[in-house]
Structures are given as C-alpha cells and as structure tokens.
Amino acid sequence: MKALRLSDSEWTLMNVLWEHAPCTITQLVALLQGETGWTKHTVITMLSRLGTKGAVRYEEGERAKRFYPTIDRADTQRQETRSFLSRLYGGSLKLMVNTLVGDDRLSEEE
C-alpha cells in the first residue's frame, strides 16, 4: 500500500468519518463545527483533497452524497507512526522513548 500522508486537518475529518460513516456534507459540518468551526465550503475542500488522495469515496444518496473512508484507520496510523519515527528519530524507537522520558525515571508500573 502506498504511504498516505494526511495533514492535521485531514486527520480531524478522517477521524469523524471513521467514527460516523457514512456522512453527508451537512452531517460532517455539524459534527466538526464545535471542534473546528469549519464551514460547508471548508468541508467540501477537505473532502475533495481526501478524494484526490484516495482516502474517501462517496455514493449518491437520495438527497445528498454520502461519504465513506476508503483507508483503514489502524493502517494509516501505523504508516504515520513509521514516517514520524523515521523523520525525527532515524527510525529508532529507543531514541524516541529516551527523548520522551528524558531524565525522569520510570516506575515499575510504567
């Protein structure tokens, strides 16, 4: 599978689709309004970008298009994690954990 990079905004929209699909544009605007304040036009633009990337598809509904994710959430999270680890830590999980922990000592429970 080709690596798919999502922007922070695209992650926000995809998380809603993964939880609530299928969704119309009106439903997405309502679900995202409190968190993002996005207008209908912003949601349409985001859906267009995600469609171009192959991350979403739609079906014609009775009154409106219904949007679905075409990528798996867990697979996309794994790809993003690998990319992050590679970019920031040269692929070293140990270096990342050491950076996160810093000088703090972990308890036995942690």
pLDDT tens column, 52-87: 999 999 999 899 999 999 999 999 999 999 988 999
The torsion region of residue 91 among left (phi > 0), alpha (psi -120 to 50) and beta comes to left
How far is residue 70's CA from residue 44's CA, in Å, rounded to a whole number? 17
What is the average pLDDT across 22-40? 97
Q: Summarize the confidence of residues 35-41 as an average pLDDT.
A: 96
pLDDT at 96 over 60: yes
pLDDT at 98: 81
pLDDT for position 95: 86
| 106 band by pLDDT with thresholds 50, 70 and 90 | low
Query: Which residue stretches of 1-109 are H helix?
Result: 8-20, 25-36, 40-52, 73-89, 93-101
Answer yes or no: are the C-beta atoms of 66 and 24 closer than 8 Å. Answer: yes
State yes or no: pLDDT of 1 exceeds 70. Answer: no
Cα–Cα distance for residue pair 44/47, rounded to 1 Å? 5
Supply the mean pLDDT for the chain.
Answer: 91
Please report which confidence band the pLDDT of residue 3 belongs to, taking 50, 70 and 90 as the band edges.
low
